[in-house]
Amino acid sequence: MGQEIIRLLELREFPVAETRLLASSRSVGREYKACGNLETVRETTPEAFKGLDFAIFSAGGSISKEFAEDARKHGCVVIDNSSAFRMEPSVPLVIPEINPSSVEKHKGIISNPNCSTIVALMALYPLHKRFGLKHFFASTYQAVSGAGASGVTELEKQSRTVLGGGEQVPPEVFPHPIAFNLIPHIDEFREDGYTKEELKMRNESRKIMDHSGLKVSCTCVRVPVIRAHAMSLNADFKHPVNVPDAHAAIEAFNGTELWDLPNALRYPMPLDYAEKEVCGVGRLRLDQVFENGLALWAVGDQLWKGAALNAVQIAELLIRQNLLRVL
């Protein structure tokens, strides 16, 4: 994820005077090109954040909890990609296209939402603004790169073995073989039968849209796709819906594009949206269960808009609003 962040900073010509690459002691001394310079990786310590305006954390929840307060004490704003602070009331949970004003309340830490939540809301929020969202069902089809580089390696290794006539390679990253398979299991199961990943969709959507009454039911599935998450969404609204107005709402929303000509075989797919900054929405149609319902399909690059890009956009937002300070 760190390399994706660096790449996007460069692609978007982010104004950087100094870049520091921080990691564990195992990575110290490695060199990477970053924002026009060859940078040497330093060890993450409490003093490493001194003099920085902001830091994008992408090393997991335990590291975020260990070092976020150290960064804050040095006046460094933390943009955190983990789930460590997402549901804390005092920490803004931000998708810049949806709730940019939330960053004004930051106290040194801003959270990036979960990747599948971001993709879903980039499709649903413009419809919510037009029709008033009441509740939705989501089935996500999540790429293996969402589990890191090791997830991609496992899919590639298992696929080569099976295509070569060998037996399935025992899984290490996923609970079952992922090549030519679907696994309806992402994150830990709770007592109610839902996984933590599935509950993130509900809890984070409520916070981001300031919609405490929103009802959500979600099933998350790992699929043998390398990059870009897809999802099927069925949403019920307060006001009567129609497809032309839904199309117009999607087309007018920044960061989402309408890709909806099914008779011409035109609908969003992961191959189309890997390494793409916008999310795609298609297959829009009236739902046959809900009275004021729409069924739709959404796709987005979970490494970009679902994580690294959203974090960089938050940093850009902080600069535009002159909020690079710890309150």
Region at 13 (left for phi over 0; alpha for psi -120 to 50; beta for the rest):
left
Residues 6+ apart with CB under 8 A from 254: 97
Query: How far apart are alpha carbons 285 and 43 in whole angstroms?
Result: 52
pLDDT for 36 equals: 82
Note whether 135 and 214 are within 8 A (CB): yes
Q: How many helices (H) and strands (E) does the chain have?
A: 8, 13
Same fold yes or no, 2-113+307-320 and 116-302: no
**Residue-wise pLDDT tens for the chain (327 aa)?**
788 999 999 999 888 888 999 998 888 998 888 888 888 999 999 999 999 999 999 988 999 999 999 999 999 999 999 999 999 999 999 999 999 999 999 999 999 999 999 999 999 999 999 999 999 999 999 999 999 999 999 999 999 999 999 887 889 999 999 999 999 999 999 999 999 999 999 999 999 999 999 999 999 999 999 999 999 999 999 999 999 999 999 999 999 999 999 999 999 999 999 999 999 999 999 999 999 999 999 999 999 999 999 999 999 999 998 877 654
3-state class (DSSP) for residue 241:
coil
Query: How far apart are alpha carbons 184 and 274 in whole angstroms?
Result: 22
pLDDT for 311 equals: 97
The token duo for 39 is 């940078």
Note whether 241 and 294 are within 8 A (CB): yes
For domain 116-302, the CATH architecture is 2-Layer Sandwich (3.30)
Nearest by Cα to 246 from 300, 283, 205? 283
- Sheet with 215-222, edge to edge strand ranges: 215-222, 133-142, 229-237, 293-300, 279-286, 256-258
Query: How far apart are alpha carbons 152 and 278 in whole angstroms?
Result: 23
Give me the active site residues, please: 115, 229
pLDDT for 169 equals: 81
Task: Tell me how far apart the terminal alpha carbons of the chain are, to the nearest angstrom.
Answer: 28
The single residue listed with the structure tokens 């305006």 is 53
pLDDT for 326 equals: 55
pLDDT for 33 equals: 87
Q: What is the pTM of this model?
A: 0.94
Going from N- to C-terminal start, the domains of the chain cover 2-113+307-320, 116-302
What's the CATH number of domain 2-113+307-320, 3.40.50.720, 3.40.50.740, 3.20.20.70, 3.30.2090.10?
3.40.50.720
Query: How far apart are alpha carbons 95 and 314 in whole angstroms?
Result: 8
